[in-house]
Chains A and B, each alone.
Chain A
Amino acid sequence: MKFSRRDLLIGGAGALAGLALTPVPWKLLSDVSIWTQNFPWIPQPAHGPVETKYSVCTLCEGGCGIRVRMATKYPVGVAGVRDHPVSKGALCPLAFAAHQLNWHPRRLREVRHAGRTASWAEAQTAFVKACGEGPTAIVDARPGRAVSSVFEAFTRKHRGSYQVVLSAESQALTPYAGWSGVPVTSLGYDLENARTIVSFGVPVLDGWGTPGRFTRLWSERAAGAADPQLRLIQIEPSLSRTAARAWRWVPLREGSEAALAAGVARTLLEEHLVGAPGPMPRSTLAEAAAQTGLATEAIRDLAQRMVENRPVVVIAPDGNPAIAALNVLLGAVGAPGGIVRKRGDVPSHVSADPLPGSFRAVLVDSTVPWEFAAQNDAEVFRFAAWDGGGDSAGWLLPAPGFLEELTDVPTPPTSALETYAVAQNLVAPPTEIRSAAQFLLQIDPTLPAVEKVIHARCDEIFRTRQGTVYGEHPLAVTKIYSAKHLEEQLRKGAVWMGDPPSPGKFRCELKEWPADNRAANATCWAASWAPPVFPPLATKLYQESNLREPPAGRQA
């Protein structure tokens, strides 16, 4: 029999059709699919026992409780702590990827001087030499920590100056501090007892203060309700995230916040909407309307809304005195639901003017925003975990990153209650990393170590016998049997919270309406994020989606 070309084609087609009916090609396809997903260059997650640790986030001043999943000694996930008394289980979006920050391409892993690699010994010699040649300043952005005590002790012994760069949240409280004499670190907002919150462009639902504190409160008492228990009035030129969810949004002309405050104050006084008399602003209601672009009726309505559901508190984005004066007029200072003074005497280390005078050397702590610029003629020793770019510092000293350092977390700036927590060093830092406290201790071994200061603070809290420790279960300090026991609890992620403040502990006197007519500073959604870089996964928010604007000057 002759085997033709046609027979070959028919046979081939039949074989292929027959093969398709067998599992062979499908199994091969499946195997190839699996094989191609296991190329050696595809990262494989490390395997090992997973354990959960509790701590406090130190990336901003908020003091949020975090639950960290650890595998093979490294953090593999961050989440909020549901019953945490400070953050109420919530975190900012960036915190969920914070465990990746320690491997950020911009992580500092070596000492740099004027753009070239240097050593710790060279940095130490240069700092000691500069200290000997003239006055020294140490700049801190989070006063009240144990390391702040080390800074203060160093500057006291070496005739230096301890300086604080205030966060926007703290700056907003400075007018009350000035009018009452109470230190700014002792003031806070009693939001839990407020029924109307008037925000002048403050992103209260988008990262302000301790992110979870107000968002949870708003979610429970206001979200979606036509007549909510807690009214949020957002005064802001554009429809921000907070304005979109507020009970009322008052769109005004950019930069006219102080004019609106004056217009509202005039209405409150003329229409006797406030109990006590106060200084009358010079500008008329018509002038306020012209500057803000709002109708006079709208300003009158706003004033009415402010007082109809009390207690009311006004929140400013910065230290704008005209906005702060509204709280004085409304009787919200030293009253429940307003600006309150914390029960204890939190030591204040706040300097009115950053870096007055002339310094030979300036040591900048890693908490200080990257944008901070010291005077030009000083030799700057800047600690940082991540390089924010530019050439802002003479010496760049690699500092511990996320969860790499034992530190304490004092009361967040906006809190009405005193709190104290300890963030344990859950991750071993790379060998070339040192904290500012370790650097100073090597120069002067007589300084107190951070660990000893934390011991002393726990001892102090234990001796006061007040407040509650919130760990696995809330435990009154009176039920804790030793300072060591208290510290153990805090190191495991618990937080101590003081008793509520007594109302009426301080007053503000306003002799005349503030003439300051400056614009309120707009706050970016990323403003309270201290590191100069974002976790790489932050690209989900602005590069891989259109949810947010890319933050200026930060790299994911």
Chain B
Amino acid sequence: MSARYGFVIDLDRCTGCGACMVACAAENNVPPAPARATPRTGLTPMLVHKVSNGMEGAARREAFIPIACMHCGNETPCVAVCPQQAVEVDKATGIVVQMPQRCLGCRYCMAACAYHARYFNWWDPAWPVGMEKSLNPGVAVRMRGVVEKCNLCPARLHSAQEKAAAAGRKEIDPADYIPACAEACPTGAILFGNLADKNDPVFSAAHSADAFRLLARLGTEPKVYYKSQEAWVKALAERDSVRPTEAQHG
């Protein structure tokens, strides 16, 4: 049976600490930013946005929204526009896989993504001298000039698949495959699992009354769900996603 891996992110639990962002970068060998990198040109496959209800003073409320690739399951926009077939939806897992080896860097996919969840490698990946010894051996470093995004930690999936194969199993043990961001979340706000499995906790969380998806009106069937009991947070779901400007500091 094919899986549909995805997240349910409880925004009422997210404190905006950023552990998911750093853990994601460390796991996927994302290089540190050059001095001239900005929020527009940086590489953050997982990015936590700070949002507010627009009020000031004691009436002001804030929340944090972690945004990664939504792994759209229907008419996936980035797949449709890629001239190089560098993006594919893996039928076995539902993961929208970006293959940097095929990418020409045209950035059509970045323009097509409604969530701004794709990033362009503006610079050669570089680490301080010696720091390349700390790179994750399961993940290849991407070259300047290609687009990258969240692939749901493929090295962890492969490792879980190898473990299952070694044990003579066809299906992986769900406990063996948890992306770095979900594992790092100190409040357990990021729940990861198989949305197609009714016994998976992520299935019931995605079907709970307070679950919603961003820009659901586009009909792309994103596999990242959010939860909140705050009405003003839910109302953000249909707002167009915008990249924060350099002036908006959290």
A residues engaging B (CB < 8 A)?
29-30, 33-34, 36-37, 39, 41-48, 50, 69, 71-72, 74-80, 89-94, 96-97, 99-100, 102-105, 205-207, 211-212, 215-216, 218-219, 223-224, 226, 239, 241-242, 244-245, 249, 251, 535-541, 543-549, 556
Q: Is the pair B17, A78 in contact by a Cβ cutoff of 8 Å?
A: no
Does B112 have its Cβ within 8 Å of any Cβ on chain A?
no
Q: Is the pair A77, B18 in contact by a Cβ cutoff of 8 Å?
A: no
Q: Which residue of A lies closest to B183 (CB)?
A: A79
Count of B interface residues, CB-CB < 8 Å = 78
Chain B 34-68 interface mask (CB, 8 Å, partner A; 1/0)? 00011100111001111000000110111110000
Residue of B22, B125, B132, B138 most packed against chain A (CB within 10 A): B22
- B128: chain A residues at CB < 8 Å are 103-105, 536
Instruction: Tell me the bound Cα distance from A47 to B136 in angstroms.
Output: 9
Q: Is the pair B101, A37 in contact by a Cβ cutoff of 8 Å?
A: yes
Q: A218-B187, A241-B17, A540-B21 are in contact. Are A549 and B134 (CB under 8 A)?
A: no
In terms of DSSP, what is the predominant structure of the interface of chain A?
mixed
Q: How far, in Å, is A410 (CB) from chain B's closest CB?
A: 23
- A545: chain B residues at CB < 8 Å are 18, 21, 39, 42, 44, 47-48, 244
In terms of DSSP, what is the predominant structure of the interface of chain B?
loop
Q: How far, in Å, is B114 (CB) from chain A's closest CB?
A: 19
Q: How far, in Å, is A95 (CB) from chain B's closest CB?
A: 8
Query: Could you show 14 A-B contacts with beta carbons less than 8 Å apart?
Result: A36-B145, A42-B143, A44-B132, A45-B140, A46-B137, A71-B137, A76-B136, A89-B186, A91-B184, A100-B127, A219-B189, A540-B30, A541-B22, A546-B250
Q: Which residue of B lies closest to A82 (CB)?
A: B183
- B180: chain A residues at CB < 8 Å are 79, 96
Q: What 6 A-B pairs come out closest when comparing CB atoms?
A: A544-B42, A224-B12, A90-B186, A536-B32, A103-B131, A43-B132
Instruction: Tell me the bound Cα distance from A215 to B16 in angstroms.
Output: 12
Residue of A537, A544, A548 most packed against chain B (CB within 10 A): A544
- B39: chain A residues at CB < 8 Å are 543-546
Instruction: Please tell me which one of the listed residues A41, A211, A245 contacts residue B124 in the complex, with CB atoms under 8 A apart.
Output: A41
- A537: chain B residues at CB < 8 Å are 22, 25-26, 30, 32
Q: How far, in Å, is A315 (CB) from chain B's closest CB?
A: 17
Instruction: Tell me the bound Cα distance from A43 to B144 in angstroms.
Output: 12
Q: Which residue of B lies closest to A72 (CB)?
A: B133
Instruction: Tell me the bound Cα distance from A305 to B46 in angstroms.
Output: 38
Q: How far, in Å, is A210 (CB) from chain B's closest CB?
A: 11
Q: A216-B187, A239-B62, A547-B21 are in contact. Are A45 and B137 (CB under 8 A)?
A: yes
Does B87 have its Cβ within 8 Å of any Cβ on chain A?
no
- A48: chain B residues at CB < 8 Å are 137
Does B220 have its Cβ within 8 Å of any Cβ on chain A?
no
Instruction: Tell me the bound Cα distance from A223 to B43 in angstroms.
Output: 30
Instruction: Please tell me which one of the listed residues A29, A43, A99, A212 contacts residue B125 in the complex, with CB atoms under 8 A apart.
Output: A43
- B37: chain A residues at CB < 8 Å are 539, 543-544
- B60: chain A residues at CB < 8 Å are 239
Instruction: Tell me the bound Cα distance from A33 to B144 in angstroms.
Output: 11
Q: Which residue of B lies closest to A36 (CB)?
A: B143
Q: How far, in Å, is B66 (CB) from chain A's closest CB?
A: 10
Instruction: Tell me the bound Cα distance from A29 to B249 in angstroms.
Output: 42
Q: Is the pair A546, B23 in contact by a Cβ cutoff of 8 Å?
A: no
